[in-house]
Amino acid sequence: MDIDADTGTILTKIELWIEGFIRLIPNLVSAAIVLLIIYGIARLVSYGVSRTLARHGRPALANVGAALLRWSIVILGFLLAATIVLPSLRPGDLLSGLGIGSVAIGFAFKDILQNLLSGVLILLRQPFRVGDQIVVNGFEGTVEDIETRATFIKTYDGRRVIIPNAQIYTGT
């Protein structure tokens, strides 16, 4: 079997790719600058939210809220940068594609997302705080830490128990 490759066509394609890349360089630089600015803004806003919530006695919520806000701003910045590099790309199209994909992701990570949402709700509503004595699923002890995924309890016999937040939020 003999393959006939036209080197002139291949070189022309490569030249077109290089020319296209060179034409995209200003857009790439602009997108990189926008990303850096958005990242800086996200860090500042995150820092402000974290300090404000920590000052109000909510350090666990400060960490979670600051991280969620920072990532939301960074994702929006990424969408903006993507539209700068590819002007024909519309953020609405990306978000609709993410909407369909999020259903599959939601089913795949159901337990993780359930624990995350329960942890955020526990941190917001504060049915108990670090240092409180609670009983959950047959475990009784002192709350050591509340994170987005789980709550840590030190039982009276010295054991450290990690209870998923979904069990705490939906249980009695």
Q: Which residue has the higher pLDDT, 124 or 160?
A: 160
pLDDT band of 121, cuts 50, 70, 90: confident
- Euclidean distance between CA atoms 102 and 39, whole angstroms: 24
Q: What is the mean pLDDT of residues 8-35?
A: 88
DSSP state of 43: H
Domains of the chain are 7-108 (1.10.287.1260), 127-172 (2.30.30.60)
DSSP bridge pairs for 160: 154
0.85 surpassed by pTM: no
Measured from the Cβ of residue 9, the count of other Cβ atoms closer than 10 Å reads 9
Asked if pLDDT for residue 35 goes beyond 90, the answer is yes
Task: Give the Å distances, CA to CA, from 16 to 10, 11, 22, 23.
Answer: 10, 9, 10, 10
**Closest by CA position to 83, among listed 41, 28, 1:** 28
